[in-house]
């Protein structure tokens, strides 16, 4: 099901790049940002995230562009398959940077849970965004059951 969603997302998002120069420029910026993430995350995580956080006052109405930013960020993260970073981390960091650049005060969440919910299993991690304490542009199944281990900014 996830692969079908990714294909659907790409089919809806990529053709719009042909006709919209602003969207194409944003896509290009996101690709460069995503490719640089492994190098940008070297060192202590709080310091790295501080450098990845654009400083901007909260926007009054950025909601209209938020879904466009999310969709482009998701496609960019999907395209960067050679990255040593997991998909959810790439996606969350690209969304985080570009939504905050627009003035939306989203917060990065890093969580962990036991695979299958049983403590005798391996641990898996996930990254997602929140806004006002609620998951933002994230399906319930992608964050439910995870214990937040670190938030930025906190």
For residues 37, 23, 53 and 102, what is the CA-based torsion angle, rounded to 10 degrees? -170
Distance from CA of residue 152 to its chain's centroid?
13
- Angle (CA) 40-43-47 rounded to 5° is 75
* Sheet with 147-152, side-by-side order of all strands: 134-135, 123-131, 107-114, 147-152
Residue 10 in contact with residue 3, Cβ under 8 Å?
no
Residue 111 in contact with residue 143, Cβ under 8 Å?
yes
* For the chain, counts of helices (H) and of strands (E): 5, 4
Mean pLDDT (the chain, rounded)? 85
Mean pLDDT of 107-118: 82
- Angle (CA) 29-140-98 rounded to 5° is 15
**Cα separation of 91 and 93, whole Å?**
6
Residue 89 in contact with residue 70, Cβ under 8 Å?
no
For residue 121 the two structure tokens come to 């299993």
Question: What's the pLDDT band for 103 if we cut at 50, 70, 90?
Answer: confident
Question: What's the pLDDT band for 76 if we cut at 50, 70, 90?
Answer: very high
Residue 1 pLDDT > 60? no
Question: What's the pLDDT band for 99 if we cut at 50, 70, 90?
Answer: very high
Mean pLDDT of 47-66: 79
Residue 62 pLDDT > 70? no
pLDDT of residue 6: 56
Residue 94 in contact with residue 30, Cβ under 8 Å?
yes
């Amino acid at each position: 099901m996830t692969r079908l969603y990714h294909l659907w997302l790409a089919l809806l998002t990529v053709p719009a790049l042909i006709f919209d120069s602003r969207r194409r420029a944003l896509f290009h910026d996101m690709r460069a940002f995503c490719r640089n993430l492994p190098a940008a995350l070297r060192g202590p995580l709080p310091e790295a995230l501080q450098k990845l956080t654009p400083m901007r006052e909260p926007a009054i109405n950025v909601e209209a562009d938020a879904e466009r930013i999310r969709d482009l960020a998701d496609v960019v993260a999907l395209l960067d398959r050679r990255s040593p970073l997991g998909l959810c981390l790439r996606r969350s960091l690209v969304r985080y940077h570009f939504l905050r650049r627009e003035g939306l005060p989203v917060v990065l969440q890093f969580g962990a849970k036991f695979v299958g919910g049983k403590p005798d299993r391996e641990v898996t991690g996930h990254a997602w965004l929140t806004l006002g304490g609620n998951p933002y542009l994230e399906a319930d199944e992608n964050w439910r059951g995870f214990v937040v281990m670190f938030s930025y900014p906190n």
